[in-house]
Amino acid sequence: MTDVGRVLLVGAGPGDPDLITIRGAKALARADVVLYDELATGDLLDLAPVRAERINVGKRGHEEPTRSQPEINALLVEYARAGHTVVRLKGGDPFVFGRGGEEVSACAEAGIPFEIVPGVTAAIAAAAYAGIPVTDRRHAASFAVVTGHRDPSRATEQIRWREIGTAVDTLVILMGMRNITSLVGELIAGGRSPSTPAAAVMHGTLPEQQTCVSTLAELPEAVKEAGLGSPSAIIVGEVVGLRADLCWWERQPMFGRRVLVTRARAQAAELSGALRATGATPVIVPMIELAAIASGPGAEEIDRAVASVAAYSTLVFTSSNAVRFFVRALEAKRGSVGASLAPALRVFCIGEVTARAALGAGLPVHLIASGRGDAEALLAQLLPALSGDRERVLIPRSQIGRSVIADGLRAAGAEVDSVAFYENRRPTIEEADLRAQLKAGELDALTFTSPSTVDHFLACLDDESRAAAGRCMIAAIGRTTARRLEAVGLPAAVVPDRPEISAMIEELIGADWPAPVISTTSGPPMDGTRGGGE
């Protein structure tokens, strides 16, 4: 009989994937099956193993789910009984209007072991990202979180709106946008002043966040004019007035900017996360996909290099991808990395990111070439490190990697094997959608991390979308990529001194972006619109 698995009820947080707890991320990393709500982001789902089954159960606020609650409960029990580790990923905190109690009760009744991983609730996080503390000893010593799911005019409604409206200093209403007019009417009828500061925060904690500030009485009309809908958190109380000074998220340097990310999907997380931290919206459209060379003459060349790896005196890695595919091939053929290499082997890395990847894979790092990001300059740093004796050097690379470093080392007397361990392919994408976004001016900046991302991007465009691309801010991770952009008539405005994601983000932040406009007045115009002040 199959051993019974377990269910982990995990709070996904309010939207920003960086707000998931460490325990929640670890739970996803060991999942066999993930049942997720509509609000879960792709970045969070990527934390689960590739082999894990992902099932969208479709719950999004008060909208009708694609699966009923009894169906979800049954799936949890079914997969756990089959011996799987099941992660139930729920928006916010699973015990704050998330019906998490019902789900683990079903597990308890079925004898299924379960664990509860709390999450950051949107009730507090959305307000915080709007610069509104739910408590502040100058204004509020109490708060309540209430669901606005049900129409308060219904006789069966259990929430006593008139009483609760004056019972606490700050009132946070989740899932209340559909009934906002009647909710506000009940609160005022119960004695809450119509002039009480109030706000609605849509897509809280995300780069798409929009915040509408008004008085309680005017809030329904204000959110209508601003175009706010679900999911939104409604906040009522004097603390809303603190937003004028405490608003921080919408003042991030790239808030509201939509930035194209062309990296391979498996590698997009670092750049996407860094962009989100600045307030930007990453638009991931991978222009390359990387794959191991598994057959043909290329695979035979890899086998020969791996079989004789102990004979090399030096390894040169030009990218973290080269590290990853080399280590994967070595482990597949030889087992342990350390036991396969010569004790005196030296490892040279191009850039800090590549060095971190090598160290993380258990490889020693003896030299890091960094600075101006072209192969010629980096070769000049490698040459003095060569020993006087004739060296045998292995350079793992992609099938389209440049030969500058290999040729330079050969000219200095080294015996060099430059071996393609992986291939760089053009993936299938929705090209029409990309062209439409460019033509509509929906992309503020384009980022490129290799010449191949440039070539594959251009192959997707027609004349009109190519012209539109030229009106965007263009960023290249290094000089090699920048030269390719220059050659095709799309010169990069941003080229960092170091070929690293962090450096490119720093340069983007320092670029000539229009300042965001933050409204703190009652009623329209509203702040937090797309573009942050365009």
Active-site positions read 37, 59, 175
| Torsions phi, psi for 352 (to 5 deg) | -65, -40
Which two three-digit tokens encode residue 312? 């090399």
Residue 140 three-state SS: strand
**Residue type (1 letter), 261:** V
Integer Cα distance of 327 and 394 in angstroms:
13
**Residue type (1 letter), 480:** T
Integer Cα distance of 489 and 520 in angstroms:
43
180 close to 234: Cβ distance less than 8 angstroms = yes
Which two three-digit tokens encode residue 534? 């365009």
DSSP 292: E
DSSP 13: B
Residue 301 three-state SS: helix
Nearest to 375 by CA among 394, 349, 398, 402: 402
**Residue type (1 letter), 149:** H
Nearest to 109 by CA among 69, 71, 77, 79: 77
Residue 222: CB atoms within 10 Å: 21
CA dihedral in degrees (20, 23, 24, 29; nearest 10)?
120
- Strand partners of residue 54: 34
Nearest to 223 by CA among 435, 432, 528: 528
Enumerate residues 6+ apart whose C-beta is below 8 A from 181.
Answer: 220
| Torsions phi, psi for 85 (to 5 deg) | -90, 115
Which two three-digit tokens encode residue 353? 């990111």
